[in-house]
Amino acid sequence: MGGSVMQDAEYYIPANEWDFLQSPGPAWEGWRFTKGIDLSNPLAVARKYTPIEVDVDFRADQVTHLADEVRVAAVEPDGSLREVPSH
């Protein structure tokens, strides 16, 4: 929460970039805020569990315990969210 920016991270999402989670669906009940990052694969190279580095700052009034509150999801074509597991 707050602090310095990682200089070697591929992506940075500041604390002030967030939105309300709209119609999250039953698996996401209780989640109110979202931060977005658009990852695409323009070369269509098959990738599985390819790590990326992201430095993300959060507002103190939006989180209490990051280890329990941060989840990664993919937006499906129908707009629903699919959780992406961490490995």
Tokens 């507002």 correspond to 59
| Residue 28 pLDDT class (50, 70, 90 cuts) | confident
Tell which residue, 1, 70, 77, has the closest CA to residue 31: 70
61: tokens are 């009034």
17: tokens are 């970039």
pLDDT over 90 (residue 59): yes
The pLDDT value given to residue 1: 45
The pLDDT value given to residue 3: 53
pTM of the model: 0.69
64 against 48, higher pLDDT: 64
The pLDDT value given to residue 87: 62
Per-domain residue ranges of the chain? 11-83
